[in-house]
Amino acid sequence: MRTLRVVGLHEDGKSIVCEDPERRERFLLPADERLRAAARGDTARLGQLEIEQENTLRPREIQARIRAGESVEEVASAAGMSRARVERFAYPVLAERARTAELAQNAHPAREDGPDVRTLGEIVAHSFALRGQDYTQAEWDAWRSDEGKWIVGLTWTAGRSDNRARWAFSPGAHGGTVTALDELAEALLDPDSYRLPRAVGQRGTDSTVAGLPAREGATVIEAPIPVPVESDPDEDTSAPLPAKQASNGFVPEQPTSAHGNPKKNHPTVPAWEDVLLGVRSQRG
């Protein structure tokens, strides 16, 4: 082990210049806390600094963890490093993730008969509109899996639940393709699954009955349709003979109504609008 001697302070004010007396080689020694602790003979502080140095991640390790989907806060907390130090190396990777998430929204979902004509972003925005949710509040992200493939994710809040959908993104010609990786991702790719059938007969809706529009505020009531009375084939349905032609010279009196009109034995058939609206007509 060679012995060095201190020459002086470097012009940057942060390093000490040392020299090898035999070979006249000069070296720079950072004037950091470790050097100051060693100069004081503070072995306890030197031990603590050694442990902290072992837990510090290299820049390549920081970027690998960020690219895998971890946040700056998560990496800083796990490594015991300051957020500012992690962020300095994480910034280019975070930009890469944001760019990939943007490209994935222009990719085409893979279908059984080939890629969809619409893009992932267009289909998802349509699904949100059908569900009455605010698409602008959803957040896109992307990261690399352990196999090295890009995964694109969408997170959003619906009521009190936090939701997350994931797709595998394969960059390529015409925007590339995406494949759903979970049930939420599959559901978002099928907007029609969120269409609810209209109820029939509900108040204040555009419900229809038998293909006819119901009036506002009307309630549909089922009304029985009278069954026509079948006549007896053995019964004589010919018109009654006048009094002078009756065999016994007597014509039976026909029952009359309160208005003096003869009553008919035929059942009254309600009008169609009476059946539709559930009211009874005043027709005699």
3-state class of 140 per DSSP? strand
- Specify the pLDDT at position 161: 87
Q: Are 163 and 157 in contact (CB under 8 A)?
A: yes
Q: Strand 161-170 vs strand 177-180: parallel, antiparallel, or unpaired?
A: antiparallel
Q: Which residue do the tokens 């509900």 mark?
A: 202
Q: What is the Cα Rg of the chain in Å?
A: 44
Most confident of 40-44, 58-62, 162-166: 162-166
- Looking at residue 137, the DSSP 8-state letter turns out to be G
Residue intervals of the chain classified under CATH 3.10.450 are: 101-194
- Specify the pLDDT at position 206: 40
Nearest to 109 by CA among 170, 165, 164, 50: 170
List, for residues 221-279, the tens digit of each pLDDT value: 444 445 555 555 555 544 454 444 444 444 455 555 455 555 455 556 556 555 455 55
- Specify the pLDDT at position 241: 46
- Specify the pLDDT at position 215: 36
- Specify the pLDDT at position 219: 40
The model carries a pTM of: 0.52
Give the Cα separation of 148 and 128 in Å (integer): 30
Q: Which residue do the tokens 């896109």 mark?
A: 140
Q: Are 86 and 70 in contact (CB under 8 A)?
A: no
* Cα–Cα distance list, 98 to 9, 86, 172, 253, 283 (Å): 44, 18, 18, 98, 74
Give the Cα separation of 14 and 18 in Å (integer): 13
- Looking at residue 262, the DSSP 8-state letter turns out to be B
- Specify the pLDDT at position 273: 54
Query: pLDDT category, 7, cuts 50, 70, 90?
Result: confident
Q: Which is more confidently placed, 246 or 175?
A: 175
- Specify the pLDDT at position 99: 96
- Specify the pLDDT at position 8: 87
- Specify the pLDDT at position 69: 95
Give the Cα separation of 65 and 276 in Å (integer): 68
List, for residues 69-114, the tens digit of each pLDDT value: 999 999 988 887 888 889 989 999 999 999 999 999 999 999 988 8
List, for residues 108-160, the tens digit of each pLDDT value: 999 988 899 999 999 999 999 988 889 999 999 999 998 999 999 999 998 88
Average pLDDT, the chain: 75
Query: pLDDT category, 36, cuts 50, 70, 90?
Result: confident
Direct distance between the N- and C-terminal alpha carbons of the chain, in angstroms, rounded to an integer? 125
15 by Cβ neighbours in 10 Å (0-12 / 13-18 / 19+) ranks as: middle
Which tokens hold the place of 260? 């003096």
Query: pLDDT category, 29, cuts 50, 70, 90?
Result: confident
Evaluate the CA torsion angle 67, 69, 72, 74 in order and state its sign: negative
**What is the DSSP code string of 153-193?**
EEEEEETTEEEEEEEEEE--GGG-EEEE-SHHHHHHT-GGG
- Specify the pLDDT at position 145: 94
Which tokens hold the place of 264? 């008919």
- 101-194 is classed CATH 1.10.3470: no
Give the Cα separation of 278 and 268 in Å (integer): 16
Give the Cα separation of 231 and 162 in Å (integer): 71
- Please state which of the ranges 32-46, 136-150, 160-174 shows the lowest mean pLDDT: 32-46
Number of residues assigned to the chain:
284
Helices within the chain (DSSP H only): 33-40, 43-55, 59-67, 72-79, 83-105, 120-131, 183-188, 272-277
